[in-house]
Amino acid sequence: MKKQIPNIITLLNLFSGCVAIVMAFQGNFPAVVIWVLLAATFDFFDGWAARSLGVSSKIGVELDSLADVVSFGVAPASAVFILLQDFTLFPTSLSLLKPYLPYLAFLIPVFSAYRLAKFNIDDRQATTFLGLPTPANGLFWVSYVCGTHLPAANNEFYLFLTVGFILVLSVLMVSEIPMFSLKIRNLKIKGNEKQLLLIVVMIASVLFWGITGIAWGILAYIVISMASTRKRRAIR
């Protein structure tokens, strides 16, 4: 039974993602955020449980990727699809594309699946990431949709912003750009500067912008990662 505990936690991640999909198609975006945050919590603890109990397994790795595709790929994409289809103002010049553009949202799970497949066979990502992690991308999207669906109905700018983010973040997921791990290994400041900076930025963003602040915090994570990579290259 002990060896099944991490798998049960992973399945709770998957369950949360499935509920988030239903909430997305009902247009209940705050509930989508809650369920995807729950999925992210389970996603963190399944790996921790496997390591703590010493029961890591190949099936656990595969199950984790499957759950992540649903919770951080399909669920956010469903929210973005509804955002573009029902809540986004299209300019007259693009009215003919309105029935089709929402399907761009499903680039999110496509690139998420490819990124997860790469991650599973890439030994270089044991302590850091190459490309934007799938959970971070998923959290960006659900908070972005929750915070922008009302203004998007009255401002054409959000159409271009959303499509731009879909394309850029999808490419970032499968890129070779180093991204730092969010795990804090000890209680010392040294060695955890980037993680602590991100925590401060995330808290400040949420306090200032509410749920949408999670999205801007994820963008800060990308900027901090790129800046630290550029700094290391300059030192070399």
23 within domain boundaries:
yes
Report yes or no on whether pTM surpasses 0.75. yes
Per the structure, the complete domain to which residue 141 belongs is given by: 2-179
**131-181 pLDDT per residue, tens:** 899 999 999 999 999 999 999 999 999 999 999 999 999 999 999 888 887
Q: Give domain status of residue 53, yes or no.
A: yes
**Whether residue 11 has pLDDT greater than 80:** yes
For the residues 78-83, what does the mean pLDDT come to? Answer: 98
Residue 230 lies in a domain: no
User: Residues 6 or more apart from 94 whose CB is under 8 A from it?
Assistant: 101, 159
- Phi, psi (rounded to 5 degrees) for 61: -65, -45
Instruction: For residue 75, tell me if it sits in a domain.
Output: yes
Average pLDDT along the chain: 88
Specify the DSSP element, H or E, that contains 179: strand 178-179
Q: Output the pLDDT for position 182.
A: 73
Q: What's the pLDDT score for residue 47? A: 75
Which residues on adjacent β-strands are paired with residue 129?
Answer: 179
66 domain residue, yes or no? yes
Structurally, the chain folds into a number of domains equal to: 1
Q: Considering the domain boundaries, does residue 220 fall inside one?
A: no
| Number of other residues whose CB lies within 10 A of the CB of residue 185 | 10
Q: How far apart are CA 133 and CA 85, in angstroms?
A: 27
Q: Report residue 170 as tokens.
A: 């999808």
d(CA 107, CA 236): 36
**Higher local confidence (pLDDT), 92 or 57:** 92
Predicted pLDDT of residue 8 = 85
Residue 186 lies in a domain: no
CATH of the domain at 164: 1.20.120.1760
Tell me how far apart the alpha carbons of residues 184 and 20 are, in angstroms, rounded to a whole number.
28
**C-alpha to C-alpha distance for 149 and 23, rounded to whole angstroms:** 14
